[in-house]
Structure 1
Amino acid sequence: MTTRQRTALLLLLGSTFLLAADLSLLNVAIPLIGEQLRFSVDNLQWIATSFALTAAGFTLFFGRIADLFGRRLLFLLGMALLAVSSLVGGLADDPAVLIWARVGQGVATAMSAPAALALLTITFPEGPLRSRALGANGAMVSAGFTVGAVLGGLLTDLLSWRWAFLINVPIGALILLLAPFALAESKTAARARIDVAGAVTVCGGLVALVYGVSRAGDLGWASPVVLGCLAAAVVLLVAFWMIELRSAAPLASVWIMRKPTVRWGNLGGLAAITMQTAVIFLVTLYLQEVAGHSPMTTGLAFGVVGVAAFLGGVTAPRLIGRFGYRRSLVIGLALQAVGPAGLFLFTDARTSLTLVLVVLSIGAFGHVTAVVSYMVTGTSGLPGQEQGLAAGLATMTQQVALAVGIPVMSAVAVGRIHQLEADRLPTAEAVLGGVHLALGIDAAIVLVALVLVATFLRRRAQAE
């Protein structure tokens, strides 16, 4: 790498870490925020859901905007909005102000994340350098999410939940100060045109999807609200596909969505991120409600798992260099399945924490390997003018997966827990039964994705 490439990589990785940490920084503090700002119980979920809705819903749109008007420009605007929104959230004394601050953070993530990934792929040509850069990026995603959970707890206990917002301000300001000198502007040479109909339908469809899945945990899957949102999501996303078939300047090229590496790479990434996010939630439930460990012990346990995830990000580029992105994605998914499958098969109330950490660490190593491999897969073999779109798709996959993983698996677990409690089982045994069912389904979904990716990307490789 050249000196400029190293500097650009450092800044982009810093922004990736910051954006990933924001996904988990507030999770521990949500009950305290609700108590101090007088949130009603029904509205507490909006502290997390408002961020997820906007981050998932607008990522693809802003990925295209970055292509047309400048990736560095949109990255800088996103980081500026993140700093301002975080300052507003940190100073908020009213529930509505805090929710709007979270909406701003979500929009900022939708602007910055695809632009940063596109800048990364443009800065490093396809090959070993890009694989190394994407490997480090994948490690930062996992490390940021893990460190965010631990740091959020520490900031809340030692200082105040407000610092979970305010910590973004100086870091964002530093990135804004250095980025204009380290990052070169890039954009497509095509005439700037916006597919308004496509933007409205895809944003509306993704928002309806994430909202419906998020509400399923408390309302139930049979709720008219949930079913209505999911039906609206299907209608809007089908409409989006039909619009893109006919649009002269499509938001998402049908060609790029039909490309096997983009399609199957993103499917592998969707399964990997959705299911690993759910594993973190389910293991937290198991360690505290079944095994009786304290929140501090749980946080330290995830710190150990975070080290394994970081090692996965460092090792993944070498695996890709040796085995190729298809095999590396399959290997990553296979190792990731070890985590939920091992916990499903071997855990009970007396299982040692060491065994839990071993299977979780193997799963975390495989997870980050899969994440890096799907990013390489989903952005490979594309011209420069399509990199922002491919990066937007990959980032949208990540945001949607982070938003829906916990609601889907928590609904499965909670439904089973209520069923077992109705059969008069003790609470700890009921929780264990719910966690076991969700972990089994989690492992099965990862393995199904593995088979699909291995089969269809192998056919592509044979065709080539």
Structure 2
Amino acid sequence: MTLTSTASSRTSPRRQGLLLALLCVAQFMVYLDISIVNVALPSIQESLGMAAGDLPYVVTAYGTVLGGFLLLGGRLADVFGRRRVLQIGLTVFAGTSLLAGLATDPAVLIAARGAQGLGAALVTPAALSILMDAFEPGPARNKALGIWGSLTGIASVCGVLFGGVLTDGVGWRWIFWVNVPIGLAAVALAPFVLPESREPARRRFDVAGAVVLTAGLLLLIHTLDQAVELGWDSPRTIGGLLLAGALLIGFVRIELRTHSPLLPMSIFARRTLRTANIVSIAVMGAVVTLFFFASLYMQQVLGWTPMRTGVAYVPLASSVAAAAGVASVLVTRFSPRVVLVSGLVVTATGLLMLSRLGLDAAYAAEVLPAFVIVGVGLGLTFVPVQIMALDDVDEQEFGVAAGLVSTSQEAGGALGLAVVSTIVLAHIDSIVEAGRETAVAAQLSGFQLAFVAAACWVLGALAVVLVDRVLSRR
């Protein structure tokens, strides 16, 4: 097969546009399914007779498997062909979406959600590595990454909105079935739109490393998801974290000894990629915290309906998209780090504005400005992070680098929400037990603390970028 540089040089601008559109549709479905089920959970519970304790697994099964298999998906794409792996992933995603919509038993639905996550884990790194392969470094690639970077925020918001519309309209099963025709159409179009690329020479696959890494990541993300409910001092939480740490350490030892590593340790010698992954962990911790607690704030404190809550996010998503487009231009005039620093500062400012909202905040005067500022900050952040994560990576390792940054985002989201939720719930409980405030006032205080904690995640990322900049000048 062709080398990535050859594929890039023969991809015409018109075909690049079709290629980008197809890849964005595929990735949009992946991100959409992270949030689309949230609004539908009460309907799913009533329809299937699910126990309240099993309901979170409808959400976490997808995210856990997605995060656990991303690095494996990236390496499979590099070794066996990126278009091929993308098509397999889309087929799995469409098939399991059909199964999820047909489910009449909670166990079947949860299993189908996990299998959806597996398909998504094949799609995401393959799609991003194809994008990097098709666009030459410079303005064209930066613009493509700008569009790609905006998908996270836009799809997350659209998931809440579409979930409400479909559930209230044709029923909750259609939040899954809508993926089927889109996914299958993308599979059929892929050979006509997407070039194939892989490593120049197929190497022996690192089976041992793949098994140990995937098990370690699955256990880590699952343990983080459960830490809020079980507590950080729970034997299951402590044991899960220790075992996950042991598996990941074992994976590093395997990679240092094998001749064909799943994740070459030399990739971490690239300072820019290393910084981008740390920033991804912190930023996605803040993003997941934002969506989780902002949704609770608007519904439990302001008393809004799920539909109104979803619509309230639309300006945030629009701001992400607009700012990502601006960022794709700015990174060609300034360094990605400069744009990233600006984005992190703006994001933290918007989150701190949210922490000042009260019991009767007006949407137009208070919530909307904060959402727009956060959206602009995230748009200015996502694009340079993607560029930094992939810009200095060898072409034959696009897939594994894409899988690495996506894994950092998934792990960061789970870690951020677990840590902040633990702090917030303890804070709310302490206020309620003291009897100093009403239940709603206690919730408000907790949600305000959550937005401050999210801002701290972003400021931590800012500190990492600034320290990296100082070190790079030495």
Residue equivalent to 1:312: 323
Of 108-117 and 250-259, deviating more is 250-259
Taking structure 2 as the reference length, what is the TM-score of the superposition?
0.94
Q: Quick check: 1:217–1:411 contact (8 Å CA) kept in 2?
A: yes
Q: 1:404 to 1:448 in 2, by over 3 A?
A: closer
Residue equivalent to 2:131: 120
Q: Quick check: 2:319–2:379 contact (8 Å CA) kept in 1?
A: no
Residue equivalent to 2:357: 347
Residue equivalent to 1:331: 342
Q: Quick check: 2:284–2:410 contact (8 Å CA) kept in 1?
A: no
Task: Output the CA distance in 2 between the equivalents of 1:250 and 1:313.
Answer: 34
Of 451-460 and 326-335, deviating more is 451-460
Q: Quick check: 1:260–1:457 contact (8 Å CA) kept in 2?
A: no
What are the within-5 Å matches in structure 2 for residues 39-54 of structure 1? 39-54=50-65
Q: Quick check: 1:56–1:403 contact (8 Å CA) kept in 2?
A: no
Residue equivalent to 2:455: 443
Cα deviation for residue 138 of structure 1 reads 1.0
> In the alignment, is residue 81 of structure 1 matched against residue 108 of structure 2?
no
Aligned match for 1:408, one of 419, 427, 432? 419
Aligned match for 1:256, one of 263, 267, 279? 267
Cα deviation for residue 253 of structure 1 reads 1.1
Cα deviation for residue 219 of structure 1 reads 1.4
> In the alignment, is residue 63 of structure 1 matched against residue 66 of structure 2?
no
Task: Output the CA distance in 1 between the equivalents of 2:300 and 2:202.
Answer: 57
Aligned match for 1:434, one of 446, 458, 465? 446
Residue equivalent to 1:419: 430
Q: Quick check: 1:264–1:457 contact (8 Å CA) kept in 2?
A: no
Residue equivalent to 2:300: 289
Task: Output the CA distance in 1 between the equivalents of 2:141 and 2:270.
Answer: 20
Cα deviation for residue 127 of structure 1 reads 1.4
**1:177-227 deviations in Å (ceiling 9; x for gaps):** 211100010000133322222212221221111111111121112111111
Which amino acid is 1:360 matched to?
F
Task: Output the CA distance in 2 between the equivalents of 1:46 and 1:2.
Answer: 43
**Unpaired segments ≥5 residues, structure 1:** none
Task: Output the CA distance in 2 between the equivalents of 1:404 and 1:448.
Answer: 14
Q: Quick check: 1:30–1:44 contact (8 Å CA) kept in 2?
A: yes
Which amino acid is 2:377 matched to?
G
**1:122-175 deviations in Å (ceiling 9; x for gaps):** 001121111110110111222111111100111001111000000000111111
Task: Output the CA distance in 2 between the equivalents of 1:142 and 1:116.
Answer: 18
Which amino acid is 1:54 matched to?
V
What are the within-5 Å matches in structure 2 for residues 62-461 of structure 1? 62-344=73-355, 346-353=356-363, 354-424=365-435, 425-460=437-472
Describe the SS at the equivalent of 1:23: helix
Describe the SS at the equivalent of 2:22: helix
Describe the SS at the equivalent of 2:431: helix
**1:344-374 deviations in Å (ceiling 9; x for gaps):** 2x22213322212211211122113212211
Which amino acid is 1:319 matched to?
L
**1:387-407 deviations in Å (ceiling 9; x for gaps):** 111111122222323444433
Task: Output the CA distance in 2 between the equivalents of 1:171 and 1:411.
Answer: 38
Task: Output the CA distance in 2 between the equivalents of 1:435 and 1:207.
Answer: 29
Task: Output the CA distance in 1 between the equivalents of 2:413 and 2:45.
Answer: 22
Task: Output the CA distance in 1 between the equivalents of 2:166 and 2:80.
Answer: 38
**1:215-258 deviations in Å (ceiling 9; x for gaps):** 11211121111111111122222222222222211111111122
Which amino acid is 1:159 matched to?
V
Residue equivalent to 1:12: 23
**Unpaired segments ≥5 residues, structure 2:** 1-11
Cα deviation for residue 458 of structure 1 reads 4.3
RMSD of aligned residue pairs (Cα, Å): 1.4
Give aligned pairs, total: 461
**1:415-463 deviations in Å (ceiling 9; x for gaps):** 2111111112211111011112222222112111101112214432x25
Task: Output the CA distance in 1 between the equivalents of 2:186 and 2:413.
Answer: 24
Taking structure 1 as the reference length, what is the TM-score of the superposition?
0.96
Give identity over the alignment, percent: 36
Which amino acid is 2:267 matched to?
I
Q: Quick check: 1:76–1:176 contact (8 Å CA) kept in 2?
A: yes
Which amino acid is 2:23 matched to?
L
Task: Output the CA distance in 2 between the equivalents of 1:30 and 1:407.
Answer: 20
Of 117-126 and 383-392, deviating more is 383-392
Q: Quick check: 2:205–2:260 contact (8 Å CA) kept in 1?
A: yes
Q: Quick check: 1:261–1:457 contact (8 Å CA) kept in 2?
A: no
Task: Output the CA distance in 2 between the equivalents of 1:395 and 1:45.
Answer: 22
Describe the SS at the equivalent of 1:447: helix
Task: Output the CA distance in 2 between the equivalents of 1:30 and 1:294.
Answer: 14
Cα deviation for residue 104 of structure 1 reads 1.2
Q: Quick check: 2:149–2:382 contact (8 Å CA) kept in 1?
A: yes
Describe the SS at the equivalent of 1:58: helix
Task: Output the CA distance in 2 between the equivalents of 1:161 and 1:187.
Answer: 39
Aligned match for 2:40, one of 8, 22, 29? 29
Which amino acid is 2:464 matched to?
L
Cα deviation for residue 291 of structure 1 reads 2.4
Of 233-242 and 110-119, deviating more is 233-242
Which amino acid is 2:451 matched to?
L
